[in-house]
């Protein structure tokens, strides 16, 4: 049995019926009891006896909602079991899996179902991965940038701004707490405001150290009050005690390999979604139930 067959088998055992999916979604969405999506209250919310997985909120003029109300699963005619399977296949592949690969695994080749629907589901699921709450990074934090998209070969020599090899590529900036989480975003405007705002948003003011390379992008960090030190890559200085950018560089290579291996190339429009997917997978790498975590953000 290959990896994919095993995962599909495991999935079918865990979620054998539509009802088991509804239960799982209910428990992931509302671990502390069913809450009305309109008013956010738990009191005066009553289960409908005639209709399983439907509730009535007496705070909201008897507003009726179901387990899929206000989720990405709402208004789609697809059973939860199909949604879950797409999500599951996406998450179990460490290097990512394209919508096309997922579709092929589910329906065989030639296709017996509409590919566009699977593609749409993958897109919505990736968007849901952006909904995860996160805390500002602490401890030792590395910040770095990378260029992605366009043609992915011959990339390592093309990191300098202004290099012609960068045409069609998009800059991504990221911050990672050592042994902790990654946060990254696409750079729309390559200016100090973008870089400074990114750091302010993602890194706690109580951070022990921010480590970067010598890039001009991080020139303001000390002025902004952060304990900032850098290594000078152009002088072949890569590690100086605690100062290095190796954790974030390994995340970049994971991301790049994933994009190359499964997606071949990614347009600027969809890059934020792939960043969300890879960050989600990385930040949940020690979470024994990544799938449930995803459901809670759907």
Interface residues with Zn ion (CB under 5 A)? 36, 38-39, 57, 59-60
* Choice between 38 and 178, CB closer to Zn ion: 38
Residue 34 Cβ vs Zn ion, minimum distance, rounded to whole Å: 11
Smallest separation, CB 60 to Zn ion (Å): 3
Nearest CB to Zn ion, comparing residues 37 and 150: 37
For residues 194 and 276, give the distance between their C-alpha atoms in angstroms, rounded to a whole number. Answer: 19
Start-to-end Cα distance in the chain: 31
Nearest distance from C-beta of residue 41 to Zn ion, angstroms: 6
Measured from the CB atom, is 39 or 224 closer to Zn ion? 39
Q: Which residue, 62 or 163, has its beta carbon nearer to Zn ion?
A: 62
CB of 296 to Zn ion, least distance (A): 20
Residue 243 beta carbon to Zn ion: minimum distance, rounded to whole angstroms = 52
Q: Nearer to Zn ion by C-beta: 29 or 103?
A: 29
């Amino acid at each position: 049995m290959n990896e994919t067959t095993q995962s599909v088998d495991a999935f079918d055992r865990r979620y054998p019926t539509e009802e088991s999916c509804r239960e799982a979604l209910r428990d992931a969405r509302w671990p502390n009891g069913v809450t009305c999506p309109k008013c956010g209250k738990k009191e005066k919310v009553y289960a409908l006896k005639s209709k399983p997985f439907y509730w009535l909120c007496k705070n909201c003029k008897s507003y009726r909602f179901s387990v899929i109300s206000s989720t990405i699963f709402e208004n789609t005619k697809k059973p939860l079991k199909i949604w879950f399977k797409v999500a599951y296949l996406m998450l179990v592949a460490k290097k990512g899996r394209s919508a096309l690969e997922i579709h092929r695994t589910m329906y065989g080749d030639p296709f017996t179902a509409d590919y566009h629907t699977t593609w749409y589901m993958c897109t919505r699921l990736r968007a849901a991965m952006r909904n995860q709450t996160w805390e500002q990074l602490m401890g030792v934090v590395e910040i770095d940038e990378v260029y992605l998209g366009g043609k992915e070969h011959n990339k390592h020599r093309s990191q300098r701004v202004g290099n012609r090899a960068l045409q069609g590529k998009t800059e991504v900036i990221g911050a990672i707490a050592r042994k902790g989480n990654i946060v990254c975003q696409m750079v729309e405007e390559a200016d100090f405001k973008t870089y400074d705002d990114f750091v302010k948003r993602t890194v706690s003011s109580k951070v022990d150290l921010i480590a970067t390379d010598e890039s001009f992008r991080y020139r303001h960090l000390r002025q902004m009050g952060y304990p900032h030190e850098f290594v000078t890559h152009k002088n072949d200085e890569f590690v100086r005690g605690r100062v290095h950018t190796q954790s974030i560089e390994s995340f970049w290579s994971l991301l790049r390999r994933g994009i190359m291996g499964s997606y071949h190339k990614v347009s600027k429009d969809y890059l934020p979604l792939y960043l969300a997917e890879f960050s989600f997978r990385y930040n949940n790498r020690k979470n024994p139930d990544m799938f449930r975590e995803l459901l809670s953000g759907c």
